[in-house]
């Protein structure tokens, strides 16, 4: 983008460029074009003169070379549909001749007094139930991105079990409680509305992201932890650029909003990826390869359903456990039981764990790997029979169980890490049609409590999605 803009100036001359710049009033404007990693920019208070180059109206000098720039940028936008037209964008240029166009487009802040809606969790010891700690704040300040961060206008967010588990001060995940008051939610889809310094994402990019349990928790276990100051269940959020991935413009943001946490957990558990690390020693997790056999415990869970698809995409033989409880309609298809649904995802064999112990149906030393998406301690002991010598058992459980004495396999427990690189790999797989994100139900922004109750009931099959601001994606396509 920068090279093209510089080329335009060189071909048309500084005089014509200055004439165009002087047509528009010197006002604060928003950079909506991805040229030079478009940013949201305010007038520079240091006195550097920034002028506004706005869309050419009738009676103003036309610039046919913008058509050339549009055609070049559209080659990228055919894949991600994130580019705004040079005709409709507002571009800020530095008055100094030596200033590079990209250097002029630094970080920015939104206008003073801008507000948004967001859900909040308060520490209220006198409330009757944990969901009563939630309240919808109608007038909250819109956050501004710091260095390396982007501000995202959220279109959809996903509800995960961790969201309601964190509301219980005495629950199994209490160590990861965020500092109240905080905005809940970890998974989101939206549009980059503004970018801080040190970022490469373009304004107008459609993205999904995972904010991170450890990264946001009060433990502060990750560098740059915000202690729960940002959450996905808000109209705007700020997030480090390294935690998001660009999604294609033709993709369904409602579906992909449910991908990050569950998808990253399955991906890192099976393959380690860029972000996966064992909790105890920081070692690798899974290393599943084509031709191997993997057992997915909890194949009908959000993590398990994606793990089944990832295993098949990797060329492995996949066996999964599930129950015979009703599944219902997913997408446009009806599935009588969760067993039927997991089979439809591509599992080579599905074992009903409610009718029989799953070890009795599986061969001794049959599996190269077990991915436990449930976290029940006793399953580690049962796995010793079915794992091959030197195999691995990877668990999403929150506790380190006792590894059977003399066990000839590797055990690793982990907590999913926020990784834009791993998330980008998952987006690519969705584009290739190798994985899909099943959606159980959708809820309006004001119906968060109902969405959390649906998750807590254990009856959900697929992801639970909250629509925050559907117009965000629609306006980004204009």
pLDDT of residue 330: 78
Q: State the Cα–Cα distance between residues 212 and 5, nearest whole angstrom.
A: 37
Residues of the chain with pLDDT under 70: 1-112, 124-129, 217-230, 356, 398, 476-478
Quote the longest CA-to-CA distance of the chain. 84
pLDDT of residue 49: 28
Return phi, psi of residue 462, to 5°. 110, -175
Place of tokens 């310094």: 197
Angle of helix 65-80 relative to helix 2-12, nearest 10 degrees, comes to 170
- CB distance 407 to 384 below 8 Å: yes
Beta-bridge partners for 246? 207
Model pLDDT for residues 166-221, shown as the tens digit of each residue: 888 777 777 777 778 889 999 999 999 999 999 999 999 999 999 998 887 655 44
Positions of E strands within 331-438: 333-337, 349-352, 367-372, 387-395, 409-413
Model pLDDT for residues 46-55, shown as the tens digit of each residue: 332 222 222 2
Model pLDDT for residues 325-370, shown as the tens digit of each residue: 888 887 778 888 999 999 999 999 999 988 867 777 888 899 999 9
Q: State the Cα–Cα distance between residues 306 and 300, nearest whole angstrom.
A: 9
Secondary structure class of 378 (helix, strand, coil): helix
pLDDT of residue 96: 42
């Amino acid at each position: 983008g920068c090279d093209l803009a510089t080329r335009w100036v060189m071909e048309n001359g500084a005089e014509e460029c200055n004439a165009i710049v002087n047509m528009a009033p010197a006002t604060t404007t928003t950079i909506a074009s991805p040229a030079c990693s478009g940013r949201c920019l305010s007038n520079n208070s240091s006195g550097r003169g920034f002028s506004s180059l706005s869309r050419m109206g009738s009676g103003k000098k036309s610039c046919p070379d913008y058509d050339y720039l549009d055609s070049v940028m559209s080659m990228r936008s055919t894949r991600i549909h994130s580019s705004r037209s040079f005709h409709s964008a507002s571009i800020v240029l530095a008055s100094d001749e030596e200033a590079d166009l990209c250097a002029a487009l630094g970080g920015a802040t939104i206008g003073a007094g801008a507000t948004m809606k967001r859900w909040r969790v308060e520490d209220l010891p006198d409330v009757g139930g944990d969901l009563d700690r939630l309240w919808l704040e109608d007038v909250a300040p819109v956050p501004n991105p710091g260095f390396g961060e982007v501000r995202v206008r959220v279109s959809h967010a996903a509800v995960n079990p961790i969201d309601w588990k964190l509301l219980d001060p005495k629950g199994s995940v209490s160590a990861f409680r965020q500092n109240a008051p905080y905005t809940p939610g970890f998974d989101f889809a939206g549009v980059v509305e503004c970018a801080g310094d040190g970022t490469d994402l373009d304004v107008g990019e459609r993205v999904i992201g995972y904010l991170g349990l450890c990264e946001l928790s009060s433990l502060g276990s990750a560098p740059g932890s915000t202690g729960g100051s940002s959450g996905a269940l808000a109209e705007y959020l700020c997030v480090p650029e390294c935690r998001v991935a660009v999604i294609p413009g033709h993709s369904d943001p409602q579906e992909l909003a449910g991908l990050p946490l569950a998808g990253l957990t399955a991906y890192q558990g099976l393959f380690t990826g860029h972000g996966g690390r064992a909790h105890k020693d920081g070692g690798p997790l899974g290393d599943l390869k084509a031709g191997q056999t993997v057992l997915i415990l909890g194949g009908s869970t959000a993590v398990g359903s994606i793990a089944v698809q990832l295993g098949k995409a990797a060329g492995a033989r996949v066996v999964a456990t599930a129950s015979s409880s009703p599944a219902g309609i997913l997408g446009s298809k009806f599935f009588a039981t969760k067993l039927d649904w997991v089979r439809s995802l591509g599992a080579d064999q599905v074992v009903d764990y409610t009718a029989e112990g799953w070890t009795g149906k599986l061969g001794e030393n049959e599996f190269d790997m077990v991915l436990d998406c449930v976290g029940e301690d006793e399953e580690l002991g049962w796995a010793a029979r079915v794992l091959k010598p030197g195999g691995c058992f990877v668990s999403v459980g929150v506790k380190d169980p006792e590894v059977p004495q003399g066990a000839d396999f590797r055990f690793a427990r982990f907590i999913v890490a926020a990784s834009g690189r791993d998330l980008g790999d998952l987006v690519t797989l969705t584009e290739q049609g190798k994985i899909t994100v099943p959606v159980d139900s959708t809820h309006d922004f004001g119906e968060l409590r109902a969405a959390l109750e649906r998750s807590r009931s254990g009856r959900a099959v697929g992801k639970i999605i909250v629509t925050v601001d559907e117009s965000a994606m629609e306006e980004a396509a204009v």
